[in-house]
Structures are given as structure tokens and as C-alpha cells.
Structure 1
Amino acid sequence: EYRAGRLAAAAAARALCGTPCLAGRCARGAPVWPAGLCGAISHCDGQAIALLGAAAVWGGLGIDIEQHLTPPLAQQIASVALTPAEQEIFGADPRWVGLIFSVKESLFKALSPQIGRSFDFGAAELCPATPAEPPALRLTRDLAPGWWAGRRIGAVLLAGPAGVMTAVALPREDDRAGAQPRSVAPPSM
């Protein structure tokens, strides 16, 4: 799976740049992208996916895939990955716990390299969709300049028969006041 993720990233780089380029690897194991690129890789249960973009366009990109959770595993993950507010809204429903865990992984992959530090699952929570707003992540505490508590971050959440896929696309640092990526509501489950 690890190698498949790297090959998917190389294919995406070829599509963007015309030549395949392999990402390096930092001490934490995360990809280190060639100059001019940003992105993320995910792999799970025999599948791999990569999301790459031009660093001139995106401040950070994150993607994650996960298999569907069993109820006992969802209960364990909910106690670690969901905030108390999320637990109140979503409980330990395996479908929602899987999506929330995954979208927070996507956020970490997109934002951590940009701010130069790690953060835990409690740093963001999923805001359910309303008639006026699609679902989004909301930061629960200040993480870095420009990344303040209460800031909403658009996300894509998809659930399918084999599992879930989520993605986060962050604006460039000089474009944070501009248009934010829009959220997409997950399919009704």
C-alpha cells in the first residue's frame, strides 16, 4: 500500500508537471514534495490514493481513505477522535465516526506542514450541514497565525460501499481572505 501511494503520487505529479517525481519522506514519515507541489497520500485496505496540486494555487492539500468501522472500533475511535460536542451530535455511529476521523486526518495532512507543527483530533470539529451552510470543519483553538479558533475549513466527505474518502484544500497564505474551498455534503446514510 505504501508503495502504491507513492506511485499514485508520481502519476499525479506526471499529470501536473509532465514528468514523474517521487516525494521524499520526512522523519515522521510524511511525504516531502518537490518544489512547487503540495499534496497528500493515503492508503488503506489494499487501496491507495494521492492528491497533488501546484503550491502556487494551494496552501495545503489533504486526503484520506478509510474502511468502514465496526461498532466496537467506532466506539474506541469516537472517544479519541471526536470532541464532546461531536460525540453529543453523532454518538458513536460507525458511519459518522469514520467520516469525522478521516476528515480530521485530511486536515492534519493539509495544515500541519503549513503551520510547522502537529495538533490533535480535538483541534477541529465537524459542523453539520444546515440549510445555509454545507458541512465544514471548525477549528476549536488557535493553531497558528491565520488559523484561529472558530475558523471554518471546507471539506469533501464521501461514503461508499467500501469505505470513506475525505479531502481538504487550503488556500495559499496570501489568499486566506479570498474564496474558501466549498464543502460538499456527504451522501445521506
Structure 2
Amino acid sequence: MPDSDDFLSPPLAHWPLPRALPGAVLYSSQFASERIAEDAFTRHAVPLPANIARSVAKRRAEYLAGRLCARAAIAQLNGAPAIPSTGEDRAPVWPQGLCGSITHSDGWAAAVVAQSGDWRGLGLDVEHLLDEQRALRLAREILTAGELTRLDPQQAALQVTLTFSIKESLFKALYPLVRQRFYFEHAELLEWSADGMARLRLLTDLSEEWRQGCEVDGQFSLSDDRLLSLVAIPARA
């Protein structure tokens, strides 16, 4: 947990998912939004974007914690403590030769980074596990018709949360490659297993390469009601 002198714990390198990605590193940190100081960005030497400066403390803390995790991961990969900037679309802009993804929720932030020669796209997402009643209420908003037919009411909380999260991860992994926004109804979770593996399929054309019917593997883990999902796009051979 955050120590008495700061709002977050030092970023920690670990791999909380079932299958390691060769060449990729993941750092995470816990933070307490209410304890972020006015000078936190200055003390941590992280540029403060104008839109984040106008945000509430929670948003500033999330942004800073995520960027610090990203900086630690980049430094491990290439020795340069760089920080992803923010593009006009508000997505992270990674240093040349790298790809990555940042996520945060409920006082926990993480970043996964790799060399672009190893992975073309990375999408990481964390969500708080929905309770069963809310999951059933949200199912028709989040799940496609096909996913609804495969919904197990006994596992609705996990299945709906996973579907939401892994589609977010898919978007983060593919958006830098296709530069086109897509939504929950444009992909479906085909299958998932208790060992944390999953498979998705696109239901729309996004580019010449990424067309309707393309399938992508993903993975996930569940810890303390926190579901973490990852989609990784391998580099071209």
C-alpha cells in the first residue's frame, strides 16, 4: 500500500496473468487518490497535461500512477526512463520502438510494455468484479446475442465482467493498428476457460488486415475481486 510519504506504492514488476509474454514487462502500483499532493506531478517529474490538471484528484492520481508504472516498465526494457505522452485521441503515445498499455481501477494501476519487434499491440484492462444482480442487468447492454446464448447464470458476475474487460483490452490492442474506434457489439467472446485463457472474434471490418471473422487470443486473472485481462498482437513474422 502507499507509504506515509506519498500517495502510491513504488511500481512493482510482476506477472499476474496465467501466460507470460516473451519480451513484455508489467509493473503495477497501489495508490490512494485522496492523498495525492498538489505538487505530485512535479515531485515525480511527470508532465501534467492540461486536461488532467483540470480533473478531480481521483483522475490525477490514476493518470500519474499509470504513467509511473509505464516509466518503470520502459526503463527495464531499454534503460531510458521515458514517459508516454498523450495523443489528441487521449491514447498513450509510446516511445519509438515500443508498444504498451496502461490501466487503473479502485486504487490499482498497471502498465505492460514490450518492444514493437516482439509485439505489435498490447491491451491491458482491469475491472472490479460486478456483483451478480448488476451483471445480469448489464448483460444485454454488454453482450452480443451470441454471448447471451452462452451466458451461464451461475457465473454471470465473472462472465459479464470478463466480456466487458477483454473487449476493452481488444480495443486497446487494435486501436493503434487500425486507428478506428469500435464498440462492444463489434466483437464477441467466443470461449473462455477457468485457467484464464479466452478467445475473441471481430464482428466488423476494421482494416484490410483486421476484418470480420478474425480471431484473437486473450488471457485474464481474478484476484481480490479485481479482474485483469490482456490481449496481445504478435509482431509480423
Range into which the TM-score falls when normalised by the shorter chain: 0.7 to 0.9
The gaps in structure 1 that reach 5 residues or longer are: 176-189
Q: Per-residue deviation at 1:77?
A: 3.4
Query: Counterpart in 1 of 2:107?
Result: 46
Question: Which of structure 1's runs of 4+ aligned residues deviate more than 3 A?
Answer: none
2: CA distance between counterparts of 1:28 and 1:72? Answer: 34
2: CA distance between counterparts of 1:90 and 1:63? Answer: 23
Report how many residues are paired: 171
* One-letter amino acid of the structure 1 residue matched with residue 220 of structure 2: L
Query: Counterpart in 2 of 1:35?
Result: 96
Match of 1:164 among 227, 231, 235: 227
Q: Per-residue deviation at 1:28?
A: 2.8
Q: Per-residue deviation at 1:71?
A: 3.1
2: CA distance between counterparts of 1:68 and 1:157? Answer: 12
2: CA distance between counterparts of 1:15 and 1:113? Answer: 23
Q: Per-residue deviation at 1:73?
A: 3.2
Q: Return the TM-score normalized by structure 2.
A: 0.68
User: Following superposition of structure 1 onto structure 2, how do residues 11-90 of structure 1 map, counting pairs within 5 Å?
Assistant: 11-90=72-151
Worse-matched range after superposition: 142-151 or 49-58: 142-151
Query: Counterpart in 1 of 2:157?
Result: 94
Larger radius of gyration: 2
The gaps in structure 2 that reach 5 residues or longer are: 1-61
Query: Counterpart in 1 of 2:52?
Result: none
Identical columns (%): 39
1: CA distance between counterparts of 2:82 and 2:63? Answer: 16
1: CA distance between counterparts of 2:148 and 2:185? Answer: 12
Query: Counterpart in 1 of 2:216?
Result: 153
Change (3 A) 1:72 1:26: farther
Partner SS, residue 150 of structure 2: helix
* One-letter amino acid of the structure 2 residue matched with residue 109 of structure 1: K
1: CA distance between counterparts of 2:234 and 2:209? Answer: 11
1: CA distance between counterparts of 2:210 and 2:116? Answer: 18
Q: Per-residue deviation at 1:72?
A: 4.0
2: CA distance between counterparts of 1:4 and 1:20? Answer: 15
